[in-house]
Each structure stands twice: as structure tokens, then as C-alpha cells.
């Protein structure tokens, strides 16, 4: 039995080398049978280590498809006193392929006021 959310994320503020704390995060899945609309799966906020490890219940069964994770970065920048930034939010769209639904997906976001990068973590 799984002991963690099948999808997790982590925000690191690379401009200061610290975790991105209290960043609101939203997880959605693309519903191709409903006019390609996004359906909400989960909402959360990063913890003191910049992580959200409880987005979905550990028993949640992923399905193959297109997913979107949105990080509300403007809220984070305001909380740390940064008033000049380029991305008010970051959306990372990724695919879970057929046959890969039982894998764990970790979405790291390396963030600075004028850039970001991501990759598939472990």
C-alpha cells in the first residue's frame, strides 16, 4: 500500500537558496471527454521545507492523461517582499503515460523572480 501522495512537489527559491514556503499549489487533470476542460484534483500549500507531500490521498489511483500543476508565485513573492517579478504563476503540464499510472511523480520548481525551471524528480 502506498504511503505518500502519488504526485508531490517542491519549490526552491533559487534567488536565495531557500525553500519556497506557503506557495499555493493546484493540481488538475485534462478531461478530454468534456471539451478538453481542466478538472480540479487537489489544492495545497508548500510547507516550511517548500514541499507538498499530501496533495492526494496515498490510495488515490492515477489515470493516464495530461495533468497541470499551478504554483501561485505572486503570493509567494509578496510574502517575501519581492515586488518586481515576471511570472505571477507557473503552470507545469505533464503527461502520465498508459502503463505508468502506478509510478510516483515529483514536480520540483526552481524559482527566481525572472525565471524558473523544472524537471521530473524522484
Query: Which carries the bigger pLDDT value, residue 34 or residue 98?
Result: 98
pLDDT band at 2 (very low <50, low <70, confident <90, very high): low
SS3 75: helix
Please report the pLDDT score of residue 45 as a whole number.
97
Distance of CA 5 to the CA centre of its chain: 12
| Dihedral over Cα of 100, 54, 44, 47: its sign | negative
- Asked if 55 and 6 touch (Cβ cutoff 8 Å), the reply is no
SS3 79: helix
Please give the helix or strand (H or E) that residue 122 lies within, else none: none
16-47 tens-digit pLDDT: 999 999 999 999 999 988 889 999 999 999 99
Helix, strand, coil share (%) of the chain residues, nearest 5: 5, 45, 50
User: Which of 57, 23, 32 minimizes the C-alpha distance to 42?
Assistant: 57
Please report the pLDDT score of residue 51 as a whole number.
97
53-96 tens-digit pLDDT: 999 999 999 999 999 999 999 999 999 999 999 999 999 999 99
What's the residue count for the chain? 122
Q: How far apart are CA 101 and CA 51, in angstroms?
A: 22
Please report the pLDDT score of residue 3 as a whole number.
82
Query: Which carries the bigger pLDDT value, residue 10 or residue 33?
Result: 10
Amino acid at each position: 500500500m502506498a504511503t505518500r501522495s502519488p504526485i508531490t512537489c517542491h519549490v526552491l527559491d533559487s534567488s536565495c537558496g531557500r525553500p519556497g514556503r506557503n506557495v499555493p499549489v493546484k493540481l488538475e487533470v485534462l478531461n478530454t471527454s468534456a471539451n478538453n476542460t481542466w478538472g480540479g484534483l487537489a489544492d495545497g500549500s508548500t510547507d516550511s521545507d517548500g514541499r507538498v507531500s499530501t496533495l492526494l490521498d496515498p490510495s488515490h489511483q492515477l489515470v493516464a492523461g495530461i495533468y497541470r500543476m499551478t504554483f501561485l508565485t505572486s503570493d509567494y513573492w509578496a510574502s517575501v517582499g519581492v515586488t518586481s517579478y515576471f511570472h505571477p504563476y507557473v503552470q507545469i503540464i505533464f503527461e502520465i503515460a498508459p502503463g505508468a499510472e502506478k509510478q510516483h511523480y515529483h514536480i520540483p520548481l526552481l524559482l527566481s523572480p525572472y525565471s524558473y525551471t523544472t524537471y521530473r524528480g524522484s
